[in-house]
Amino acid sequence: MKSINKVLLVAANILFFSLNVNAQAPTKGPEFDESTLLYKGEEKHLSNVRQLTFGGDNAEAYFSFDGKAITFQANNSAWETKCDQIYFFDLSKGNMQDGAPQLISTGKGRTTCSYFMPDNKHILYASTHEGNEDCPPTPEKREDGKYVWAIYPDFDIYVSDLDGNIVNKIVDGPGYDAEATVSPDGTSIVFTSMRSGDLELYTMDIDGGNLKQITKELGYDGGAFFSPDSKKLIFRASRPKTEEEVKLYTDLLAENLVQPTHMELYVCNVDGSELKKITDLPNASWAPFFHPSGNKIIFSSNHPSKRGLPFNLWMVDVDGKNLQQITFDGMFDAFPMFSPDGKKLIFSSNRNNNGTRDTNLFIADWKD
């Protein structure tokens, strides 16, 4: 969960990818219906789609526990942002076409991965602002041509009220700490950290106590979410196996870099037991979230693509069976999340952006 702008520059890689989406033509597919904001005849699980943002890069939108609001990260010059910042939006207000929503982060440094606390009055997010108030630099192009993105060591995790006042620094320490989400029962937090020397998942109580390491295998573990009953975790991970893959991963990690080449989805109990790989697909599968039933996973993937794009939303049973395509965009759909009552889906998409690079937020009624 890095710079949203890199999401648009993604090709065959996970999370925030390297290909400028304007550099290749959209993949031909179903006809887009501007009146419904859907691809005709295909996106049968979605209805009553509403576009929430209208410019810039908007992603990782997550519902409040009562389903009435969202928090998300955005980089929008019209909102005077220099790099990703965290915002709050009351869904009863319709959309953000006429102006910026409430800024939650400080406006300094780079932020990522916001999520509501159980009281709906506080938001947790990661930020680099204490390390440096400027936006941290993106990695320069490497001589070997390999795309990498930064694991900024200044990222720590904060809790803010809805007016943007930081009330707690809940995760501190040297090295990357980010990608935090909260369990539906409101008791636990899961996040990714470099504190062991590798990018692993950790859980802790909602007040920051009782820290536990969940994953221990070499590779990048991140983007974790709890199941509806708060008993399991779904996340995406890399697993370098060959000597060459291991060397590349560890060498880059020593520079606080990751090459997000291939990611798969894994599920485990909240204590890390019964770890299972549930996808085995080409390219990148990422941004997973549990279906309200707890028996399925919705996620983003470009696995059918030969050139990196498009990314679309897919669904698979928690045992890895019954893979089904959900969206049919010619460019990029990702970051899906169901509302707490399971009736709505929010996601980021390049649809309806008039041929620009803009990634906007969309909310839809969900139909099983």
User: What averages of pLDDT result for each successive group of 10 residues across the chain (368 residues)?
Assistant: 44 35 52 96 97 97 98 96 97 96 97 98 98 92 79 97 98 95 98 97 97 97 98 96 95 90 92 97 94 98 87 97 97 97 98 95 98
pLDDT at 18: 32
The DSSP H or E segment spanning 243 is helix 243-254
CATH 1.25.40.10 applies to domain 4-366: no
pLDDT at 330: 92
pLDDT at 1: 52
pLDDT at 363: 98
pLDDT at 27: 53
Rounded distance between C-alpha atoms, residue 158 and residue 182, angstroms: 13
Rounded distance between C-alpha atoms, residue 183 and residue 271, angstroms: 13
Query: 3-state DSSP helix/strand/coil percent for the chain, to nearest 5?
Result: 5, 40, 55
Angle at 215 between CA 213 and CA 216, to 5 degrees: 95
DSSP codes, 26-78: PPP-SPEETTTTEETTT-TTEEEEEE---SSEEEEEEE-TTSSEEEEEEE-GG
The two tokens of residue 237 are: 């991970």
Quick check: pTM over 0.85?
yes
pLDDT at 28: 62
Angle at 75 between CA 5 and CA 345, to 5 degrees: 80
Q: Kindly list the domain boundaries of the chain, sorted by start residue.
A: 4-366
pLDDT at 173: 87
User: Could you tell me the strand order of the sheet in which 85-90 lies?
Assistant: 57-63, 69-75, 85-90, 102-103
Q: Which of 241, 233, 294, 242 is nearest to 265 (CA)?
A: 233
Rounded distance between C-alpha atoms, residue 86 and residue 115, angstroms: 10
pLDDT at 10: 39
